[in-house]
Amino acid sequence: MVAQWLRWVAALLLLFLGMATSGFGPPPGANPTPTDSERLTQSELAILRASPEPTLSARSAVLMDPATGRVLWGKAPDRRLPIASTTKMMTALLAAELADPDEVATVYPRDLVLGSTVSLREGERLTIEQLLYGALIQSGNDAAVTIADHVGREYLGGVGDDGIETFVRAMNVRARKMGLTNTQFKNPNGFDAPGHYSTARDLAVLGREVLANPLLAGIVATAQYRMTGYLTVGRERTLVYHPVRTTNELLRSYRGANGIKTGTTPQAGEALVASVQRGDASLIAVMLGATGRFADARALFDWGFDQYEWLPITPFVFESPVGTVALQQPLFAAVAKWNVDLPFFHAGAGAARYWVGTEPLEIPLSAAGAP
């Protein structure tokens, strides 16, 4: 009881000093303490707290708030599992970071792998952007390998057939830089292979990075597209069209769905990295080893929207004089609906600190989500 009282006193002192120093009211983006009319009633609180957690078919799952990178719910989130074509998120991210989307790549026989394809032809030429549509929308293995082959040779020092392997090594380097310590790639398209794995938590972080890239975010939100390449015969160019359709049925059936990537192999079962945006509210859900991934995603998103609301939070620099506000735009963070008066989260040493209501909210941010 004493500790609770001290927390209230400290919070009020901080708020008072901040107002006195700045000469204004609450920090920009901060949320005032709700009035009695805005508070939840005891019956509303009981209903929210009694809301059952989702029951999923997936062996591993995560629900993340992409604005902050905070995991809101998890089921074996760090279990290493095969990830199938969700691999292509890293292939696309690395290609988008290294190559110009308008540069042209050539399809070689080594790129024409089996499985899910977009029916590329030997000798066909397409831009990197067209290939990204094929790899991410219809999960074309041939498009993903062509991307890796081209980028590996043109940007990473690969020679001939070694371009693909060079690209895969760069995928693993990029994963380490992102802090994906439970992720390892053996190919650019997601075929089952010993040592090719990730976790639901790592894939949520990777999906967040994909959505932070405007080109990729637009592609993964596209339900259907017509890829265009060309073949050269003598001096003549013949256009080749590849209609592609998304493998992510949520784009057509769940309100606000805007990505990201599906995957299916014998060892992985059904995999899905899904995202939803509804106004200021956003969520990423990951399912691995599922038998009903889309039903899992709907249940997980429904639970998230039932349990959380999104409030503006303003970054604070705590090492600066009291009342100093970082000159940055507020983020909208998921906060439990029954705890909006004084939400307080401990994220460990070095975490970014934010202000919500009358207490600091500590949330870890990756570089992609930093304001």
- Does residue 260 have a cis peptide bond before it, meaning omega lies within 30 degrees of 0? yes
Give the pLDDT score at 53. Answer: 81
As a whole number of Å, the CA-based R_g of the chain is 23
For residue 261, what are the β-bridge partners? 273
**Rounded CA separation 288/296 (Å):** 10
CA-wise closest residue to 307 among 43, 44, 55: 44
- HSE at residue 122, side-chain half, CA atoms within 13 A, is 4
Reading across the β-sheet that carries 331-336, which strands appear in turn?
331-336, 308-315, 352-356, 359-363
Give the pLDDT score at 359. Answer: 40
- Show me where the domains of the chain are located: 2-51+307-369, 78-265
**Rounded CA separation 359/39 (Å):** 17
SS3 138: coil
Segment (H or E) for 201: helix 200-212
Give the pLDDT score at 111. Answer: 98
Tell me the CA distances in angstroms from 32 to 5, 44, 118, one per residue in order. Answer: 19, 21, 53
- List, for the chain, all residue ranges whose pLDDT scores fall below the cut of 70: 1-51, 313-330, 338-371
For residue 221, what are the β-bridge partners? none
> What is the architecture, at CATH level 2, of domain 78-265?
3-Layer(aba) Sandwich (3.40)
**Rounded CA separation 6/42 (Å):** 25
Characterize the bridge pairing of strands 352-356 and 125-127: unpaired
Angle (CA) 19-23-25 rounded to 5° is 50
Give the pLDDT score at 181. Answer: 96
**Residue 17 one-letter amino acid:** L
How many angstroms separate the first and last alpha carbons of the chain? 36
Whose tokens are 């707290």? That residue is 49
Active site residues: 85, 88, 139
**Rounded CA separation 295/200 (Å):** 17
Cβ(297)–Cβ(251) under 8 Å? no
**Rounded CA separation 91/140 (Å):** 12
Give the pLDDT score at 68. Answer: 84
- Over the range 170-186, which residues count as b (16 or more CB within 10 Å of their CB) and which as e? bbeebbeebebebbbbb
**Rounded CA separation 186/193 (Å):** 7
Characterize the bridge pairing of strands 60-65 and 70-75: antiparallel
Cβ(326)–Cβ(283) under 8 Å? no
Tell me the CA distances in angstroms from 95 to 73, 109, 176, 215, 325, one per residue in order. Answer: 31, 20, 17, 11, 37
**Residue 202 one-letter amino acid:** D
DSSP state of 321: P
Give the pLDDT score at 209. Answer: 96
For residue 354, what are the β-bridge partners? 315, 361
Token digits of residue 113? 């792998």
**Rounded CA separation 340/338 (Å):** 6
Give the pLDDT score at 234. Answer: 85
CA 206 to chain centroid: 5
**Rounded CA separation 152/16 (Å):** 57
